Structure 1
Amino acid sequence: MTENCSKELTGVAEFEAEVTLAITGASGAPYALRLLQVLCQANWRVHLLVSSAARVVLATEHELKVPSAPDAMGKVFSDAVGAKPGLIKAYGRDDWFSPVASGSAAPKKMVVCPCSTGSLAAIALGCSDNLIERAADVVIKERGQLIVVPREAPLSAIHLEHMLKLANLGVTIMPASPGFYHQPASVEDLVDFMVARILDHLGVEHDLVKRWGYGGAR
Structure 2
Amino acid sequence: MRIIVGMTGGSGALYGVALLKALKELNIETHLVVSTMGEYVLDHETGMSLEEIKSYATVFHRNNDLAAKISSGSFKTDGMVIVPCSMKTLSTIAHGGSDNLLTRAADVVLKEDRKLVILPRETPLSVIHLENMLKLAKMGVRVMPLSPSFYHHPQTIGDIVNAIVARTLDQLGIEHHLAKRWGE
Same fold (TM over 0.5): yes
Aligned 1:110-189 pairs, distance under 5 A: 110-189=80-159
Question: Which of 1 and 2 has higher RCO (CA within 8 Å, sep 6+)?
Answer: 2
5+ long unaligned stretches in structure 1: 1-16, 67-72, 82-86
Q: Does the 8 Å CA contact 1:99/1:106 hold for their aligned counterparts?
A: no
Residue of structure 2 equivalent to 1:44: 28
Write the distance in 2 (CA, Å) between the matches of 1:175 and 1:152.
Answer: 8
Specify the code of the residue in structure 2 equivalent to 1:114: P
Aligned counterpart for 2:17 among listed residues 33, 36, 43? 33
TM-score (norm 1): 0.82
Q: Which runs of 4+ in 1 moved over 4 A?
A: none
Larger radius of gyration: 1
Write the distance in 1 (CA, Å) between the matches of 2:9 and 2:109.
Answer: 21
TM-score (norm 2): 0.96
Write the distance in 1 (CA, Å) between the matches of 2:93 and 2:76.
Answer: 16
Specify the code of the residue in structure 2 equivalent to 1:147: V
Question: Helix, strand or coil for the counterpart of 2:81?
Answer: strand
Aligned 1:70-89 pairs, distance under 5 A: 73=51, 76-79=52-55, 81=56, 88-89=58-59
Specify the code of the residue in structure 1 equivalent to 2:82: V
How many aligned residue pairs are there?
184
Specify the code of the residue in structure 2 equivalent to 1:59: D
Quote the offset at 1:201 in angstroms. 1.1
Question: Helix, strand or coil for the counterpart of 1:189?
Answer: helix
Please tell me the root mean square deviation across aligned C-alpha atoms, in Å.
1.1
Quote the offset at 1:108 in angstroms. 3.3
